[in-house]
Amino acid sequence: MRYFLYKLSSFITTIIIVSMMIFFVFQLLPGNPAQIILGIDADPNQVAQLEKQLGLDRSSAERYMDWVAGLLQGDLGESLRYQLPVSDILIERIPVTASLAILSIILTVVIGVPLGIFIAHSDGKRVSIFLNVLTQLGISIPSFWFGFILILAFSVTLQLFPTYGYVPWSEDFLGALRSFFLPSFAIAVGNIAIVIRYLRNTILDQSKMDYVRTARVKGLKEHSILYGHILRNSLIPVLTIMGLLVADTLGGSIIIENVFSLPGLGNLLIQSITSRDFPLVQSMVLYIAIIVLLINFIVDILYKVIDPRIRLKG
Amino acid sequence: MEKAKSIPFYIGVGLIVFLLSVMVISIFYTPYDPNAMDSANRLAAPSMEHPFGTDNFGRDILSRIMEGSQTAFIIGVSSVTIGLIIGFLLGAIGGYFGGWIDEVISRFIDAMLAFPGILLAIMLIAVFSTGMMNTIIALGMMSIPSFARITRSSFIQYKEYDFVKASIAKGASSLRIIFQHILPNAISPILVAVALSFSGAVLSESGLSYLGLGVQPPDPSWGRMLKEAQAYIASAPWYVILTGLAITFLVLGFNLLADGLRDKQDKKA
């Protein structure tokens, strides 16, 4: 319980600091924000009106409090370009990014975990050097470039998947799956490599533990030692990096959505920056950061539930 | 075993040395003027004349990739320097003094880590606008947390060692202890972080420039080349493939270097 409260309080404190940081950075917009948004030759009346809409006639502290109070009531402000509440726009975009992220995480686990286990077995010198370089390659490849390569291989040459565009799940389930597969895989590649490396290292570390020797002395088969003992203890640390992987996946989708023209949050973010829709950008950045913090918080709690040995600052 | 394990490390060093030489050569020599257009020779496939082919304006891709390496190294070196200086100071102060100041710095670092991928850089660039200088600053900011964390944990560890306690007892100043006694011992994990941040910066710059939020013309950039190349993915696949390989090899070089440094350090410990 103390652990939970500690994590909860640091979760909330971090959100507050993040929101202050974001707010502060957007205060640094050089010059008059209303003028920047509308352009140099904008009508002064319009500029004055926008200044009022942005609350520029009040102090930053007041505006910050307004923003936070709005956020707490689910009001993320209003987009300048769309003239719509930010929350309405986000709700349309979230399913796309969420589908991409979930599919990508599934691919990471389904491909990464078995490969990691398999590779931990093959501890040959040559094989391990080869795998080391190969997984480093997976981490080093720019995901958007890998997206191009997938398009080149599977869409242009083999014509198995659509190149760009998005099919909603409700319209055509298989079509949606096909439109999400390549972008999800492009994001997943780096994470698969990370999971493989991490799992292999933890399995090798665990294999040297006393309990494994005991199990071996007891005459247990290698197979049951691996699955009954080692794997159980190795998958817990993997859970901790899941939080990291979800963050990576969300970060990756910012670029990948633009490669595959998927109308998700990342796509919206870049469009809003290009059209100088600062209220929308500001709220979106905070929204994405809160998702990341929330997932890390959940992972921390799950970790504790699965392995009660974990203590505060332990 | 010892020797076998370091093969990836040498592959990494090899890649870095090779690309560094390409970068140095490109300052004095490129096969063609990277900006010279040749409308009769648009999207030409790789040949003896143009080993990497030409782009949509008939410009020589090899020359453009060579020139782009300058930007990659400048971005890498400058942003790592910014991240290292600020991150080291924050980590050293927090780890060495502890208490409330450590708490404040740690919370600040946690907050920075809540921005996934290149989101922090994107936010900074959205506010301060694009270009080489702002890209460097944004990527430098992005690398602060990793330096701060690594430095902090080394300082917490070494602060308890007898040699540090002895100098405190002798009345050495905090600055002296931080820079003269603890820093030399904390150097190897920091070097690993330098290599990792370098590869991260190159990767992020390519992503930002691909999105149109990074380096702007006339400064050359591999990421922006990829943005242009995307439209010709079917008609001129070599443009996409070769430009992406340049980024991948530079990033891979530094990642292998970091991994090798970490292995050596683990063995020592």
Q: What is the pLDDT of residues B9-44, one digit of tens each?
A: 999 999 999 999 999 999 998 888 888 888 888 888
How far off is chain B from A137, nearest CA to CA, in Å? 6
Q: Nearest chain A residue to B112 by CA: give it.
A: A18
Test the A interface: residue of B115, B129, B208 with most A CBs within 10 Å: B115
Chain A neighbors of B75, CB-CB under 8 A: none
Rounded to the nearest angstrom, the minimum Cα separation between A218 and chain B is 31
User: Which pLDDT does position B191 carry in this prediction?
Assistant: 93
Question: Across-strand partners of B54?
Answer: B60
Tell whether the model's pLDDT for residue B4 goes beyond 60.
no
* pLDDT above 90 as % of chain A: 24
The residue among A314 and B260 whose pLDDT is bigger is B260
Per-residue pLDDT of B196-207, as tens digits, reads 999 999 999 999
B42 located within any domain = no
CB contacts < 8 A, A to B, total 141
A30: cis peptide before it, omega within 30°?
A: no
Q: Which residue in B has a C-alpha nearest to residue A138's C-alpha?
A: B252
B213: nearest CB among A29, A136, A273: A273
Q: Does B241 touch chain A (CB under 8 A)?
A: yes
* CB pair distance less than 8 Å for A152 and B114: no
With 50 as the cut, is the pLDDT of residue A314 above it? Answer: no
**A residues 189-248 lying closer than 8 A (beta carbon) to B:** 247-248
The pLDDT, as a whole number, for residue B101 is 94
> Once rounded to an integer, what is the mean pLDDT over residues B172-198?
87
Is the pLDDT at B2 greater than 60? The verdict is no
Residue that is written with structure tokens 């991994």 in the block:
B259
The pLDDT score that the predictor gives to residue A72 is 79
Indicate yes or no: CB of A139 within 8 angstroms of CB of B5.
no
Contact A253, A266 (CB under 8 A): yes
Question: Do B117 and A252 make contact, defined as CB atoms within 8 angstroms?
Answer: yes
A177 vs chain B: nearest CA distance in angstroms? 23
Residue A41 has pLDDT above 60, yes or no: yes
How many domains in chain B? 1
Instruction: Find the CB nearest A13 among B107, B125, B213.
Output: B107
Question: What is the average pLDDT score of chain B?
Answer: 89
- By Cβ distance, the residue of A14, A145, A252 closest to B114 is A14
Q: What is the pLDDT of residue A164?
A: 67
- What confidence category does residue A183 fall into, taking pLDDT thresholds of 50, 70 and 90? very high
In a domain? residue B33? no
Inter-CA distances, A83 with A17, A39, A46, A47, Å: 29, 18, 15, 16
- State yes or no: pLDDT of A132 exceeds 90: no
What CA–CA distance (Å, rounded) separates B222 from A272? Answer: 24
CB contact under 8 A, B116 and A10: no
Measured torsion, CA atoms of residues B201, A143, A164, B244, in degrees rounded to the nearest 10: 70
What SS3 state is found at A85? strand
Give a yes or no: residue B48 inside a domain.
no
Provide mean pLDDT across the span A166-184. Answer: 83
> A300 contacts in B (CB within 8 Å)?
none
Percent of chain B whose pLDDT exceeds 70: 97
Band the pLDDT of B3: cuts 50, 70, 90: low
CATH number at residue B261: 1.10.3720.10
State the Cα–Cα distance between residues B79 and B136, nearest whole angstrom. Answer: 5
Q: Is residue B37 within 8 Å of residue B57, measured between CB atoms?
A: yes
pLDDT for residue B170: 84
pLDDT digits (tens, 9 = 90+) for B148-163: 999 999 888 888 888 8
HSE (side-chain half, CA atoms, 13 Å) at B19: 24
Please report whether residue B49 resides in a domain.
no
Please name the residue of chain B whose CA is at the shortest distance from the CA of residue A244. B116
Does B40 touch chain A if contact means CB atoms closer than 8 Å?
no
Could you say which of A21, A250, A252 has the minimum Cβ distance to residue B111? Answer: A21
In a domain, B92, yes or no: yes
Give the pLDDT of residue B201: 96
In a domain, B162, yes or no: yes
CA of B182 to nearest chain A CA: how many angstroms apart?
Answer: 23
Question: Is residue B253 assigned to a domain?
Answer: yes
Band (B1; pLDDT cuts 50, 70, 90): very low
What average pLDDT score do residues A274-278 get?
85
Contact B248 A288 (CB under 8 A): no
Other beta carbons within 10 Å of B131: 15
A142 touches B: beta carbon within 8 Å? yes
- Determine whether the interchain pair B259/A132 forms a contact, defined as Cβ–Cβ distance below 8 Å: yes
Write out residues 55-94 of B within 8 Å (CB-CB) of A: none
pLDDT score of A31 more than 70: no
Residue B153: give the domain boundaries: 8-25+59-268
How far, in Å, CA of A143 to CA of A147, rounded? 6
Residues of B in contact with A148 (CB under 8 A): 226, 229-230, 233, 240, 244
Per-residue pLDDT of A61-79, as tens digits, reads: 888 888 888 877 777 777 7
User: In the prediction, which pLDDT does B139 show?
Assistant: 96
Residues in A touching B13 (Cβ below 8 Å): none
Closest CA to B80 of B205, B209, B229, B195: B195
Identify the pLDDT of residue B5. Answer: 59
This prediction has a pTM of 0.90
- Listed in order, strand segments (DSSP E) in chain B are none
Average pLDDT along chain A: 83
Strand partners, A78: A85
The reported pLDDT for the residue numbered B34 is 87
- Assigned domain for B260 exists: yes
- Comparing B246 with A314, which gets the higher pLDDT? B246
Mean pLDDT of A87-114: 90
Query: Which of A161-170, A193-202, A239-248, B75-84 is predicted with the least confidence, judged by mean pLDDT?
Result: A161-170
Residue A225 has pLDDT above 90, yes or no: no
The pLDDT assigned to B167 comes to 83
The rounded percent of chain B whose pLDDT value lies above 90 is: 57
Using the Cβ of A29 and the Cβ atoms of chain B, whether some distance falls under 8 Å is answered with: yes
Per-residue b/e over A191-229, b at no fewer than 16 CB within 10 Å? bbbbbbbbbbebbeebbeeeebeebeeeeeeeeebbeeb
Over residues B80-86, mean pLDDT: 97
